């Protein structure tokens, strides 16, 4: 009873407020919008309308959940001309529509549940000019619709129409007709009589063909035929001389009629997602064309006559098979959008920089050699600078390939590196008969990450830059910085200790890691310590590795294919149907986001790792096996289809600039000022304006570090990467005795006055050595347990690597940019005497959850008040969790939070006064994923504050995940009601909803885990969509200069190499 009374009161207030507004406006009221919650009880008594609505001309009752309108509506609104009833629950046209019909000129009943239109109501709408019936459930339209002689606009899209009534041909004034997303199986011939029709949309119907006499629609200016299953166009189509915009995407067209060139008024043409193998020649005479879309076809070339399309502003040719562009394309100087990604373009035409107006530029996923991939990804201005420099200086070729040795600790990487790089001469001296020789004198284990230059073939000038990546887990946080496109990856496996059950940890996890960071990377599997295995054992272990790699790849590919099919099935259903049932896959997700998701899965499937087979067993005691490995590496490196950039041409001045940076005396320095580099540029023949492009290229290709958009670092050039890597190694050696030894060495010889505020830096007084060692041991313990180090102790630790205080400051800025540490109490100016600046390295935090002090005063989310609602965004990683991601994310969010407390697996902090918790949960089994969640809570009226708290953190994580373009992960919004009940398996709404606006007229969403439970829409959708869509990382342009935060992560960009070309699985 209470519910019924409450509904009556709300409805009564609706009309009372309307009456009050009407009385205030008196006779001036022309437009009225009413909104309120619908009555809770279907037995609510009829309501009397205010008597003062006679002058209302526009009435909007949309978004109210109505299934009927009050009696007397027609009588009360004598002047009504426009009635909006969209987004309600009407199953039939209300009776009031028939009463109002003779006066109405516009009627909107879209987004309802109409299954039929009453003939009487339709007949009454004789003055109607605009009628919107879209997004309903209409199986047919009444014949009386043809009697609406004044009708100019009709929208019946997103219904269930299998045919249109013959009477529709009588609508001689109809200018706009939308019939898309219905069930038509042929083009409706009734439309051919509509001579006034200017805009027609029959997309997403199975037309399969068009009538020859479609030419009768001579007034047609805009025509949508997307997804109509068309294989050809009739010649009569070319008589539609008034056409200005034509959408023919997602069909099966292979060619256009020769007479297509007659459509001279055409300004926009979309032919994407068809089957064109050749550029349609009939387009070339269309001089007025401004937008042309030919994405996702099978084009192999672009004709030189494309320069005749002089008014072209937009040209999309992505995801074809184009191998080159004509020189004449640079004559399209008006271009503003040029999309070429996903082709096979290796060289851009000369003078490409003439396309200076291009703002939207996408070129990724091409085997670019000239200009280099790194230059092209920076944009047209950088391409122009490169080509200008190449024209001014002598070209130079410098073959050099990055080779990375990866594998578990004690796999034999360091010994193998020494064997390859130092023992070639000795291996050859023994002749072919020499079976065994002593291995080189090399350390048994690496000292961290080490870099070696190896001239593999002096006659051909082929050099490898060999990176020996430490296998110790403590280095995992920095290893991803070295995984870059264009490198050759050698995964080293100790065959002597290998067992089949160890495959996931010794091989599988490394392959997942490389594939996630560098899709389509080339990987060679090398088995070491072959001399410690019997012949049969060796063969069985190599075959097992090969077999398990194939099984893992098959399992991953099949899983991705299944997920892609789910997306296809969701796309096949109407958006309204998806949004009607919370049980449906991808509930509420827009078609746009689904297409992004599908493109992402397709990207992952098309960019699998290129794993060389078979496994190569090697013993460092056998010169012949070593020589076979060398030959294999050289053979792969010289394969132009695999590593085309190895032979790229650079301006000679750029190469000279690089060489000058590594010559004495600057070679010994850790960094150079920008002006120091500018002076070297002048020696290389580069003026100041041309130096910027050269430094930018050297940064992108991994030769040095130059952060042109970082205020703290842009005036410095870090050219000595070897010393930087040595410094990184210092921070990731977890041996306490070694750290203490370095600190004690650092204190020796320090003079007074250096390092303000630190008694440790003063010269030791007699008898104080023991006290100093105790203090340093305390710092080492704090570092290894909590990741804490004061700045003056960091200086002691790095004493052999730095010469001045400025070195230390720049290095700490660099470490923060890399996401390795953050400052706990960074001073705004020069620190006062006696103050200590502390830095935290999250990867060293050992306690799994934050300290108990963080939960004082009931701020723990787990113990939140029952009146609070919890928001929780969960990222799930089914294949691999990026190593070091949680630690780096911990650093990236530091600028967004205060009062934080860190654990190894959890961070508790505040955004203003709103609590946030970031949690990482490692997988608890083979079939369970790793998860990372971001949570906050607030009362329902203030839930916007919780969204405001977590949204920047979500966006920071999305930016970090863009560094892993081959990573499969999902995002979900966990059901607040399930969380409040303490459900161990809460329902998860699709994360794509984060990037979508809240649906109109929807206040609550049903939780499928409990059908009777309704979740407020504000607990699922943010107030405004997030900037970065969760699954968009591989479907939009992946350019670092479009995501400035990434430009501030140095080694991920700076330790990169050339981009490999896509090609088949290698044998």
Convert the pLDDT of each residue in 260-313 to its tens digit: 999 999 999 999 999 999 999 999 999 999 999 999 999 999 999 999 999 999
SS3 716: strand
Vertex 219 angle, CA 213 and 223, to 5°:
75
Residues 6+ apart with CB under 8 A from 475: 448, 449, 469, 732
- Are the CB atoms for 402 and 380 separated by under 8 Å? no
Distance CA 1022, CA 949 (A): 11
Identify the residue whose tokens are 């996630």: 516
Q: How confident is the model at residue 926 (pLDDT cuts 50, 70, 90)?
A: confident
Q: How confident is the model at residue 831 (pLDDT cuts 50, 70, 90)?
A: low
Check residue 1000 and give its pLDDT.
76
| Structure-token pair, residue 665 | 């005396």
Task: Calculate the CA dihedral of residues 98, 99, 101, 104 and round it to 10 degrees.
Answer: -140
Distance CA 457, CA 884 (A): 36
- Are the CB atoms for 264 and 288 separated by under 8 Å? yes
Distance CA 704, CA 1053 (A): 10
Identify the residue whose tokens are 């981009």: 1059
| Residue 246 pLDDT exceeds 60 | yes
SS3 512: helix
Sign of CA dihedral 941, 943, 945, 948: negative
Check residue 377 and give its pLDDT.
87
HEC-encoded secondary structure of 657-707: HHHHHCCCCHHHCCCEEHHHHHHHHHHCCCCHHHHHHHHHHHHHCCCCEEC
Tell me the CATH number of domain 867-1048, given options 3.40.50.300, 3.30.310.200, 3.30.1490.20, 3.90.870.10: 3.30.310.200
Alpha carbons within 13 angstroms on the beta-carbon side of residue 510 total 29
In this structure, of 474-488, 514-528, 846-860, the range with the lowest mean pLDDT score is 846-860
| Residue 326 pLDDT exceeds 70 | yes
Between 356 and 16, name the one with better pLDDT.
Answer: 356
Sign of CA dihedral 77, 78, 84, 90: positive
Between 221 and 861, name the one with better pLDDT.
Answer: 221
In this structure, of 508-522, 533-547, 739-753, 789-803, the range with the lowest mean pLDDT score is 739-753
pLDDT in tens, 172-188: 999 999 999 999 999 99
Percent of the chain past pLDDT 70, that is, above it, reads 83
Residues 91-115, mean pLDDT to the nearest whole number: 89
Residues 1000-1022, mean pLDDT to the nearest whole number: 85
Q: How confident is the model at residue 527 (pLDDT cuts 50, 70, 90)?
A: very high
Q: How confident is the model at residue 22 (pLDDT cuts 50, 70, 90)?
A: very low
Check residue 779 and give its pLDDT.
86
| Residue 539 pLDDT exceeds 70 | yes
CATH number corresponding to 1-137: 3.80.10.10
- Are the CB atoms for 492 and 412 separated by under 8 Å? yes
pLDDT in tens, 348-366: 998 998 999 999 999 988 8
Check residue 694 and give its pLDDT.
83
| Residue 378 pLDDT exceeds 80 | yes
- Are the CB atoms for 702 and 725 separated by under 8 Å? no
- Are the CB atoms for 356 and 380 separated by under 8 Å? yes
Check residue 641 and give its pLDDT.
77
Strands, E, within 710-785: which ranges? 716-718
Residues 713-717, mean pLDDT to the nearest whole number: 84
Q: How confident is the model at residue 837 (pLDDT cuts 50, 70, 90)?
A: confident
| Residue 450 pLDDT exceeds 80 | yes
Of 44-48, 69-73, 862-866, give the range with the top mean pLDDT: 69-73
Check residue 981 and give its pLDDT.
86
Q: Respond yes or no on whether the N-terminal peptide bond of residue 371 is cis (omega within 30° of 0).
A: yes
Check residue 530 and give its pLDDT.
92
Q: How confident is the model at residue 52 (pLDDT cuts 50, 70, 90)?
A: low
| Residue 764 pLDDT exceeds 80 | no
Distance CA 930, CA 807 (A): 39
| Residue 107 pLDDT exceeds 70 | yes
The residue ranges of every structural domain in the chain are 1-137, 400-430+437-647, 650-722, 734-753+767-844, 867-1048
CA distances 59 to 30, 64, 294, 465, Å, are 9, 13, 44, 73
Cα of 998 vs its chain's centroid, Å = 22
Identify the residue whose tokens are 């080492």: 780
Distance CA 142, CA 166 (A): 10
- Are the CB atoms for 319 and 341 separated by under 8 Å? yes
**Helices 688-700 and 674-683 sit at what angle, rounded to 10 degrees?**
110
Check residue 1051 and give its pLDDT.
34
Of 22-36, 364-378, 1023-1037, give the range with the top mean pLDDT: 364-378
- Strands in 450-457's sheet, in edge-to-edge order, are 450-457, 462-468, 400-406, 488-494, 522-528, 610-617
Report the b/e string of 882-921 with b at 16+ CB within 10 A. Answer: bbbbbbbbbbbbbebbeebbbbbbbbbbbbeebbbbbbbb
Q: How confident is the model at residue 518 (pLDDT cuts 50, 70, 90)?
A: very high
Alpha carbons within 13 angstroms on the beta-carbon side of residue 908 total 17
Check residue 1044 and give its pLDDT.
28
Distance CA 37, CA 12 (A): 11
Q: How confident is the model at residue 907 (pLDDT cuts 50, 70, 90)?
A: very high
pLDDT in tens, 851-893: 644 443 334 444 444 568 899 999 999 999 999 999 999 999 9
- Are the CB atoms for 917 and 861 separated by under 8 Å? yes
Q: How confident is the model at residue 1026 (pLDDT cuts 50, 70, 90)?
A: confident
Distance CA 369, CA 644 (A): 6
pLDDT in tens, 592-638: 899 889 989 999 999 999 999 889 999 988 889 999 999 898 888 88
SS3 516: helix
- Are the CB atoms for 169 and 143 separated by under 8 Å? no
| Residue 1048 pLDDT exceeds 70 | no
Q: How confident is the model at residue 55 (pLDDT cuts 50, 70, 90)?
A: confident
Of 437-451, 754-768, 941-955, give the range with the top mean pLDDT: 941-955
Instruction: Count the Cβ atoms, other than its own, within 10 Å of residue 417.
Output: 23
Check residue 62 and give its pLDDT.
85
Backbone angles phi, psi at 464, to 5 degrees: -110, 140
Percent of the chain past pLDDT 90, that is, above it, reads 43
| Structure-token pair, residue 717 | 């050039």
- Are the CB atoms for 637 and 488 separated by under 8 Å? yes
End-to-end CA distance of the chain: 77
Vertex 808 angle, CA 803 and 811, to 5°:
120
Between 639 and 989, name the one with better pLDDT.
Answer: 989
Residues 701-725, mean pLDDT to the nearest whole number: 81
Residues 17-24, mean pLDDT to the nearest whole number: 44
Q: Which fold has domain 650-722?
A: Arc Repressor Mutant, subunit A (1.10.10)
Q: How confident is the model at residue 336 (pLDDT cuts 50, 70, 90)?
A: very high
Q: How confident is the model at residue 441 (pLDDT cuts 50, 70, 90)?
A: low
Check residue 437 and give its pLDDT.
47
Of 380-394, 461-475, 559-573, give the range with the top mean pLDDT: 559-573
Check residue 67 and give its pLDDT.
83
Residues 426-436, mean pLDDT to the nearest whole number: 38
Instruction: Count the Cβ atoms, other than its own, within 10 Å of residue 1027.
Output: 12
Q: How confident is the model at residue 765 (pLDDT cuts 50, 70, 90)?
A: low
Closest CA to 1003 of 114, 63, 136: 63
Sequential DSSP letters for 764-782? PPTT-HHHHHHHHHHHHHH
Distance CA 436, CA 635 (A): 24
CATH 2.40.50.180 assigned to domain 400-430+437-647? The reply is no
Backbone angles phi, psi at 974, to 5 degrees: -75, 145
- Are the CB atoms for 598 and 567 separated by under 8 Å? yes
Backbone angles phi, psi at 788, to 5 degrees: -105, 135
Q: How confident is the model at residue 751 (pLDDT cuts 50, 70, 90)?
A: very low
pLDDT in tens, 974-998: 999 999 888 889 999 999 999 998 8
Check residue 1042 and give its pLDDT.
30
Sequential DSSP letters for 587-647? TT--HHHHHHHHHHHHHHHHT--EEEEEEEE--TT-HHHHHHHHHHHHHHHT-TTT-GGGG
CA distances 283 to 270, 287, 290, 303, Å, are 12, 9, 12, 11
- Are the CB atoms for 528 and 442 separated by under 8 Å? no
Q: How confident is the model at residue 141 (pLDDT cuts 50, 70, 90)?
A: very high
Q: Respond yes or no on whether the N-terminal peptide bond of residue 484 is cis (omega within 30° of 0).
A: no
- Are the CB atoms for 191 and 165 separated by under 8 Å? no
Q: How confident is the model at residue 1063 (pLDDT cuts 50, 70, 90)?
A: very low
SS3 51: coil
SS3 1012: strand
């Amino acid at each position: 009873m209470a519910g019924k009374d409450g509904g009556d009161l709300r409805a009564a207030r609706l009309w009372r407020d309307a009456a009050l507004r009407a009385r205030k406006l008196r006779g001036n009221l022309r437009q009225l919008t009413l909104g309120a919650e619908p009555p809770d009880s279907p037995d609510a008594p009829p309501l009397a309308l205010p008597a003062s609505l006679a002058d209302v001309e526009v009435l909007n009752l949309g978004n109210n959940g109505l299934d009927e309108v009050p009696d007397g509506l027609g009588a009360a609104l004598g002047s009504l001309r426009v009635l909006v009833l969209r987004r309600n629950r009407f199953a039939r046209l209300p009776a009031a529509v028939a009463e109002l019909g003779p006066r109405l000129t516009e009627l909107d009943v879209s987004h309802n549940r109409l299954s039929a239109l009453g003939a009487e109501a339709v007949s009454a709408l004789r003055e109607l000019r605009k009628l919107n019936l879209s997004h309903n459930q209409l199986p047919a339209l009444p014949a009386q619709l043809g009697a609406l002689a004044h009708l100019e606009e009709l929208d019946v899209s997103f219904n269930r129409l299998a045919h249109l009534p013959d009477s529709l041909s009588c609508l001689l004034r109809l200018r706009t007709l939308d019939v898309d997303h219905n069930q038509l199986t042929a083009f409706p011939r009734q439309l051919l009589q509509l001579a006034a029709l200017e805009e027609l949309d029959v997309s997403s119907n199975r037309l399969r063909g068009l009538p020859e006499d479609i030419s009768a629609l001579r007034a047609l200016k805009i025509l949508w035929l997307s997804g109509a299953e068309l294989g050809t166009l009739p010649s009569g189509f070319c008589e539609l001389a008034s056409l200005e915009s034509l959408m023919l995407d997602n069909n099966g067209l292979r060619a256009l009629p020769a007479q297509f060139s007659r459509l001279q008024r055409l300004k926009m043409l979309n032919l994407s997602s068809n089957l064109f193998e050749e550029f349609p020649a009939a387009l070339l005479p269309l001089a007025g064309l401004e937008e042309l879309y030919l994405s996702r076809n099978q084009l192999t070339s672009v004709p030189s006559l494309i320069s005749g399309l002089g008014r072209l502003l937009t040209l999309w040719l992505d995801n074809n098979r184009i191998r080159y562009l004509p020189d004449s394309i640079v004559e399209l100087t008006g271009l503003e959008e040029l999309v070429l990604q996903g082709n096979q373009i290796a060289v851009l035409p000369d003078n490409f920089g003439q396309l200076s107006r291009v703002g939207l530029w996408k070129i990724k996923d091409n085997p670019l050699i000239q200009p280099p991939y790194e230059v092209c990804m920076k944009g047209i201005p950088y391409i122009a600078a490169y080509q200008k420099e190449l024209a001014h200086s002598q070209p130079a070729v410098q073959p050099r390939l990055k080779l990375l040795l990866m594998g578990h600790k004690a796999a034999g990487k360091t010994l193998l590196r020494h064997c390859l790089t130092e023992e070639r001469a000795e291996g050859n001296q023994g002749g072919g008969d020499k079976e065994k020789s002593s291995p080189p004198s090399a350390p048994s284990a690496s000292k961290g990450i080490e870099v070696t230059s190896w001239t593999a073939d002096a006659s051909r000038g082929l050099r490898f830059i060999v990176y020996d990546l430490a296998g110790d887990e403590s280095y995992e946080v920095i290893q991803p910085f070295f995984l870059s496109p264009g490198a050759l990856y050698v995964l080293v496996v100790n065959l002597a200790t290998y067992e089949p059950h160890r495959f996931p940890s010794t091989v599988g996890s490394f392959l997942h890691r490389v594939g996630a960071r560098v899709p389509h990377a080339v990987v060679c599997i090398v088995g070491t310590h072959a001399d410690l295995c019997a012949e049969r054992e060796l063969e069985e272990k190599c075959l097992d590795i090969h077999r398990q790699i194939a099984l893992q790849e098959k399992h991953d590919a099949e899983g991705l294919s299944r997920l892609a099919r789910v997306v296809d099935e969701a796309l096949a259903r109407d958006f309204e149907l998806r949004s009607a049932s919370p049980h449906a896959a991808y509930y509420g997700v827009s078609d746009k986001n689904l297409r992004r998701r599908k493109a992402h899965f397709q990207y992952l499937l098309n960019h699998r790792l290129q794993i060389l087979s078979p496994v190569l067993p090697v013993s460092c005691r056998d010169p012949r096996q070593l020589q076979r490995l060398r030959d294999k590496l050289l053979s792969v490196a010289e394969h132009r289809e695999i590593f085309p950039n190895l032979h790229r041409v650079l301006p000679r001045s750029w190469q000279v600039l690089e060489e000058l940076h590594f010559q004495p005396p600057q070679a010994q320095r850790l960094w150079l000022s920008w002006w120091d580099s500018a002076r070297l540029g002048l020696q290389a023949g580069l003026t100041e304006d041309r130096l910027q492009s050269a430094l930018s290229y050297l940064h992108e290709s991994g030769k040095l570090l130059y952060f042109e958009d970082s205020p703290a670092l842009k005036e410095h050039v870090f050219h000595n990467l070897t010393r930087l890597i040595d410094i990184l190694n210092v921070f990731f050696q977890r041996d306490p005795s070694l750290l203490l030894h370095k600190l004690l060495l650092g204190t020796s010889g320090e003079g007074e006055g250096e390092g303000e505020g630190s008694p440790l830096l003063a010269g030791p007084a007699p008898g104080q050595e023991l006290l100093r060692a105790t203090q340093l041991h305390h710092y080492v313990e704090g570092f290894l347990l909590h990741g804490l180090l004061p700045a003056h102790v960091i200086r002691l630790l790095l004493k052999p690597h730095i010469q001045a205080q400025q070195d230390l400051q720049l290095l700490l800025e660099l470490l923060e940019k890399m996401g390795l540490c953050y400052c706990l109490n960074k001073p705004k100016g020069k620190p006062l005497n006696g103050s200590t600046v502390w830095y935290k390295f999250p990867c060293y935090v050992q306690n799994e959850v934050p300290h108990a002090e963080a939960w004082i005063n009931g701020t723990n989310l787990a113990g939140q008040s029952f009146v609070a609602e919890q928001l929780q965004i969960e990222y799930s990683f089914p294949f691999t969790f990026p190593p070091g991601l949680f630690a780096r994310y911990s650093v990236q969010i530091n600028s967004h939070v205060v009062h934080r407390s860190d654990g190894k697996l959890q961070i508790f902090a505040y955004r203003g006064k709103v609590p946030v918790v970031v949690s990482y949960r490692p997988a608890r089994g083979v079939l369970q994923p790793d998860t990372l969640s971001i949570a906050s809570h607030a009362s329902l009226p203030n839930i916007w504050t919780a969204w405001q708290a977590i949204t920047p953190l979500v966006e920071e994580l999305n930016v970090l995940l863009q560094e892993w373009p081959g990573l499969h992960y999902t995002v979900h919004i966990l059901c607040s009601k399930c969380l409040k009940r303490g459900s161990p398996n809460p329902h998860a709404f699709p994360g794509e909803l984060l990037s979508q606006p809240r649906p109109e007229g929807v206040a609550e969403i049903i939780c499928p885990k409990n059908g009777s439970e309704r979740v407020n829409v504000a607990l699922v959708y943010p107030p405004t969509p997030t900037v970065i869509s969760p699954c968009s990382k591989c479907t939009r342009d992946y350019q670092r200069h479009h995501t400035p935060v990434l430009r501030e992560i140095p080694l991920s960009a700076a330790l990169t190499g050339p981009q490999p070309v896509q090609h088949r699985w290698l044998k």
